[in-house]
Chains A and B, each alone.
Chain A
Amino acid sequence: MGLVLFYILGTITIVAALGVVTTRNIVYGALFLLVSLSGVAGLFVVLFAEFLALVQLLIYGGAIIIVILFALMLTRETDFSTATEHRRWPFAALVSLALFGLLAGSAIGDSGKYNTYTRTGFGIEDLGVGLFENWAVPFEVASIILLVALIGAIVIGRSGDDEDNADKTGERGEQ
């Protein structure tokens, strides 16, 4: 049962990821990302990490994708004639493939040690205990990070500073 689910969800995830990195239409890309991340959430369920799956869907699907879509809307390129790939994309493909090979290879090499284990889950209480007892400090730090990011995003993102529009047409201040 788990196996079948794994393969279905896995395929979906990978195919969607492929779509993210190859599509010409950037909005489609965002949507593909949503599908891929949902697939990941499903995989979490297969791994008996239900809470995490929910968190994944909420955060990624609910917040991050939305924000990305907003950003996409606000940064439309005036022309789409240019290619979507960097001119050195063959090298990138090469490197990626190599890395994949390496990672997979090393995983296979070590697989002998872990073959016998099966997946087991644990209850949400354990997760809660771990999060608020053993990992309390990183938890607090994480909340501070969020605060900082919040403030930072506002500061960086606000319009009305003098530097805007300076390079657009090469002339200072004029539209």
Chain B
Amino acid sequence: MILTLLDFQILAAALFSLGLYGVLARRSAVMVLMAVELMLNAVNINLVAFSAFRPIPVVTGQVIAIFVITVAAAEVALALAVIMRLYRRRGTVNVDEINLMKG
């Protein structure tokens, strides 16, 4: 039995779904952020797998994955800055209580 693209795809799908659940169901903003990282990684797995499982492999997938990592790093930095701000304002990072847009 050999390793096929399908295996990686299913793995990535599972990781992605787990990440999605974390984004939607977790209460702390930092937890949500971590789940987002999981989703991004799932995407990366997919990309690299696509890049590898070809008769003649291409760099495209890996290059994109590098960019994804880059942007993820930038995004984490900013997100955490916002979270810090939020915490100072409200004393909490509980997403359930951040509802200024209510109504």
Contacts and interface: CB of A to CB of B under 8 A. Distances in A.
Interface of A: 2-3, 6, 10, 13-14, 17-18, 20-21, 26, 29-30, 33, 36-37, 40, 43-44, 46-49, 51-52, 55-56, 59-60, 63-64, 67-68, 70-72, 74-75, 77-78, 82-89, 91-93, 95-97, 99-100, 103-104, 107-108, 111, 114-115, 117-122, 126-127, 129-131, 134-135, 138, 142, 145-146, 148-150, 152-154, 156-157, 159, 163-168
B59 A126 contact: yes
B31 A166 contact: no
Interface string B1-36: 111111111110111111111101111111101110
Contacts of B31: 20-21, 26, 29, 84
Interface centre among B21, B38, B51, B91 (most CB of A within 10 A): B21
A156 B85 CA distance: 7
Interface string B56-89: 0101101101110111111111101111110111
Contact of A3 (B3, B52, B55): B3
B2 A59 contact: no
Q: How many residues of B sit at the interface, in one of the four size bands?
A: 35 or more
Q: Which 9 A-B pairs have the closest CB atoms?
A: A149-B74, A130-B59, A92-B24, A21-B22, A157-B81, A100-B17, A89-B25, A103-B13, A92-B25
A37 to B, nearest CB: 6
B53 A40 contact: no
Interface centre among B19, B22, B54, B96 (most CB of A within 10 A): B22
Main DSSP-derived SS at the B contact region: helix
Contacts of A3: 1-3
